[in-house]
Amino acid sequence: MSTITAPAEQKIVGEVPKQLYIGGEWRDGAKGTLSVEDPSTGEPLCEVADASTDDAKAALTAAVEAGPEWAAHPPRERGEILRRSFEALIARADDLALLMTLEMGKPLAESKAEIAYAAEFFRWFSEESVRIDGRYSVNSNGQGRVLTMKQPVGPCLLITPWNFPMAMGTRKIGPAIAAGCTTVVKPAQQTPLSMLMLVKILEGAGLPAGVVNLVTASSSSKTMAPLIADSRLRKLSFTGSTEVGRKLMEQASHNLLRLSMELGGNAPFIVFDDADIDAAVQGALIAKMRNIGEACTAANRFHVADKVADQFAEKLAEKMGAMKVGRGTEEGVQVGPLIDNGQRTKVAELVEDALGRGAKAVVGGHARVGAGYFFDPTVLTDIPDDANLLQEEIFGPVAPVKGFADEDEAIAAANNTEYGLVAYVFTNNLKRALRVIERLETGMVGLNQGMVSNAGAPFGGIKQSGFGREGGYEGMEEYLETKYVAVNL
């Protein structure tokens, strides 16, 4: 039974194409359908196509067949299609935000911010499509010339997670289209609706058949493994957990596929005693509570100078405790449900583990009783070194605050993780900021700000947060090969 009651909700869910998109045609999945649910109630929203392995193969075939024409397609026209799609996304932002909130749970304002962020990747890469160049240089011995040209990588498989249902798609699809690559896209089964609407928008913007093919499936491993093993595929770009990323790398090693791996995070948020504490608390709220804490960039551990740790924890607890929890469509809600019961149980276990080892809850600490997968915003202090949440990605609205004595201790604690996606540093001392940032083992740093996401910047991690960059000039390089020509003059 559907929980959608408001006409606007019914309308937007009704508008979503529910089929697979292969070779420019919408068609049913051979395995029937899979259910998409509303995490604020646990009730189904609708059914979408469930692809078989043959469907997935057909999607790759369509991408392979469209490849040569798309690679030769005028770059300006590739860019214009992205530009028109950017404009359509912005024009439909309210409806698309509602759809995203229904399937993923985040508050409407945050969904709208994600639509704008997602659209920015199309705008950025619409501009980059006409800036693909090579070089021409004289050999060092003066004889002969070096010529390089950039060419599209070829058919790409793009696999995305549920936490940013649209932006994780546009930051792969945008550069792929701009570079002249064709694609098979596989969104997370929990949140396929945003991506289905995105593909409908691309189709409406004039994207030729076969350039983007969309497969939704209840069994990712069964449908994706044959594609990864297929020698016609040239690249796999994956955003998701480190655990799945490792498996996919193993599979991809057979064909030595080009890879981009945007994996898990365990971001340290470091506050020095010379920082503006109110600004740090404001930054912490964004870094922790954006996306209900379900972001790879979410601050996972707050390392705060001993002198200001209590003050910081109290102020943060006051703000987090005052946040309104509820269905993301409701007025004033700032914290939606977690994606499913499994995720909520994992968050609860991490909190219980910390409390069991001696941590204290300044605010929150519990799952909410009733329908939906809600968890109260939680601030913990007195975190013991062996608490699991210092090592594991929490992916929920839980902020552990831990003191440090000096700069060396802060850096050592921050780097004490297998992950290396992002870190946040709050200090008013520029020399200290640069000194600390140089020693942090992460791909990104937010300096005196709690958010790093930006379509024009290279997003990505090191260590077990993966490799490759999305956004910025670097984002294009992921979809281009460099061919070197030795010219005999």
CA distance 391 to 413: 11
Q: Which is nearer to ligand NAP, 151 or 388 (CB)?
A: 388
Residues in 220-249 at the binding interface with ligand NAP, rule: CB under 6 A: 220-221, 224, 239-241, 244, 247-248
Stretch of residues binding ligand NAP (CB under 6 A), selected from 23-31, 113-121, 160-168, 324-332: 160-168
CA distance 8 to 171: 28
Cβ 484 to ligand NAP shortest distance, Å: 31
Q: Which two tokens stand for residue 87?
A: 């404009």
Contact string (CB under 6 A) for ligand NAP, positions 110-139, x = contact: ------------------------------
Residue of 107, 154, 180, 265 that binds ligand NAP (CB under 6 A): 265
Q: Which two tokens stand for residue 21?
A: 């998109």
Q: Please tell me whether residue 189 binds ligand NAP under the rule CB under 6 A.
A: yes
Residues in 272-301 at the binding interface with ligand NAP, rule: CB under 6 A: 296
Q: Please tell me whether residue 150 binds ligand NAP under the rule CB under 6 A.
A: no
Among residues 9, 181, 296, 392, which one is catalytic?
A: 296
Q: Which is nearer to ligand NAP, 227 or 380 (CB)?
A: 227
Residue of 163, 260, 329, 453 that binds ligand NAP (CB under 6 A): 163
Cβ 251 to ligand NAP shortest distance, Å: 8
Q: Please tell me whether residue 382 binds ligand NAP under the rule CB under 6 A.
A: no
Among residues 110, 128, 203, 262, which one is catalytic?
A: 262
Cβ 78 to ligand NAP shortest distance, Å: 24
Cβ within 8 Å of residue 383, ≥6 positions away? 301, 354, 359, 389, 390, 400, 401, 402
**Buried residues in 185-221 as b, exposed as e (16+ CB within 10 A):** bbbbbbbbbbbbbbbbbbbebebbbbbbbbbbbbebe
Q: Please tell me whether residue 262 binds ligand NAP under the rule CB under 6 A.
A: yes
Stretch of residues binding ligand NAP (CB under 6 A), selected from 6-14, 98-106, 162-170, 372-380: 162-170
Q: Which is nearer to ligand NAP, 174 or 264 (CB)?
A: 264
Q: Which is nearer to ligand NAP, 282 or 449 (CB)?
A: 449
Q: Please tell me whether residue 22 binds ligand NAP under the rule CB under 6 A.
A: no
Query: In 3D, which of 223, 249, 66 has the Cα closest to residue 154?
Result: 66
Q: Please tell me whether residue 156 binds ligand NAP under the rule CB under 6 A.
A: no
Contact string (CB under 6 A) for ligand NAP, positions 383-422, x = contact: ----------x---------------------------x-
Cβ 2 to ligand NAP shortest distance, Å: 21
Contact status, residue 354 vs residue 408, Cβ threshold 8 Å: no
Cβ 307 to ligand NAP shortest distance, Å: 32
Active site residue 181: no
Any bridge partners for residue 459, and if so which?
Answer: 470
Contact status, residue 208 vs residue 70, Cβ threshold 8 Å: yes
Cβ within 8 Å of residue 424, ≥6 positions away? 267, 268, 269, 270, 283, 287, 299, 445, 446, 447, 449, 450
Active site residue 156: no
Instruction: Count residues binding ligand NAP (CB under 6 A).
Output: 29
Residue nearest to ligand NAP (CB): 240
Q: Please tell me whether residue 443 binds ligand NAP under the rule CB under 6 A.
A: no
Residue of 161, 180, 364, 372 that binds ligand NAP (CB under 6 A): 161
Residue of 78, 84, 186, 235 that binds ligand NAP (CB under 6 A): 186
Q: Please tell me whether residue 472 binds ligand NAP under the rule CB under 6 A.
A: no
Cβ 36 to ligand NAP shortest distance, Å: 11
Cβ 159 to ligand NAP shortest distance, Å: 5
Cβ 244 to ligand NAP shortest distance, Å: 3
Stretch of residues binding ligand NAP (CB under 6 A), selected from 126-134, 262-270, 305-313, 432-440: 262-270
Cβ 239 to ligand NAP shortest distance, Å: 5
Cβ 236 to ligand NAP shortest distance, Å: 9
Q: Which is nearer to ligand NAP, 92 or 232 (CB)?
A: 232
| Contacting positions for ligand NAP (CB under 6 A) | 159-164, 168, 186, 188-190, 220-221, 224, 239-241, 244, 247-248, 262-265, 296, 393, 421, 461, 465
Instruction: Name the residues annotated as catalytic.
Output: 262, 296
